């Protein structure tokens, strides 16, 4: 079965090198970093709006995006919250590799996914 092609937006707190790595891992996806599209330094609302207008899944370290009161489940295209430390390229790649290996990308849409050091939690809207 063909894998779901995704549109992904990495927040400015995710190292730019992670975008390059993800493009290499999933060349069929459209992967953008906020620094590449002129959203660096902009409030979360701008990033969120851009992601919704472009049907993109947000990948971020920002805990605010994990708050379902601010970003209700089912009202966004998907949010992946990296809850790991340190927030390095290596740790981000390790966390996303775990996600790629355990949760089909088709299940990422409309979900809030929180990845910590030990587990991956998927909440669907």
| Token reading at 72 | 């209700």
- Residue 25 and residue 70: Cα distance in Å, rounded? 31
**pLDDT of residue 2 exceeding 60:** no
* Structural domain includes residue 1: no
* Structural domain includes residue 94: yes
- Residue 72 and residue 35: Cα distance in Å, rounded? 25
* Structural domain includes residue 41: yes
**pLDDT of residue 50 exceeding 60:** yes
Overall number of domains in the chain: 1
- Going by their DSSP bridges, the two strands 111-115 and 120-124 should be labelled as antiparallel
- Residue 116 and residue 122: Cα distance in Å, rounded? 12
Q: Where in the sequence is the domain holding 37, given as residue range(s)? A: 7-124
Which one is predicted more confidently, 69 or 18? 18
* Structural domain includes residue 2: no
- Report the residue count for the chain: 125
Q: For 43-60, what is the mean pLDDT?
A: 96
Closest to 44 measured CA to CA, from 87, 11, 82, 72: 11
* Structural domain includes residue 98: yes
Query: What does pTM read for this prediction?
Result: 0.95
Three-state SS for 12? coil
pLDDT at 125: 75
């Amino acid at each position: 079965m063909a894998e779901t092609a995704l549109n992904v937006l990495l927040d400015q707190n995710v190292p730019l090198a992670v975008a390059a790595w993800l493009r290499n891992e999933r060349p069929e996806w459209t992967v953008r970093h906020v620094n590449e599209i002129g959203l660096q330094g902009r409030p979360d609302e701008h990033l969120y709006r851009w992601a919704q207008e472009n049907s993109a899944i947000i990948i971020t370290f920002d805990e605010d995006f994990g708050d379902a009161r601010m970003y209700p489940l089912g009202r966004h295209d998907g949010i992946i919250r990296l809850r790991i430390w340190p927030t390095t390229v290596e740790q981000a790649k390790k966390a996303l590799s775990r996600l790629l290996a355990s949760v089909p990308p088709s299940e990422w849409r409309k979900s809030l996914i929180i990845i910590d050091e030990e587990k991956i939690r998927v909440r669907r809207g």
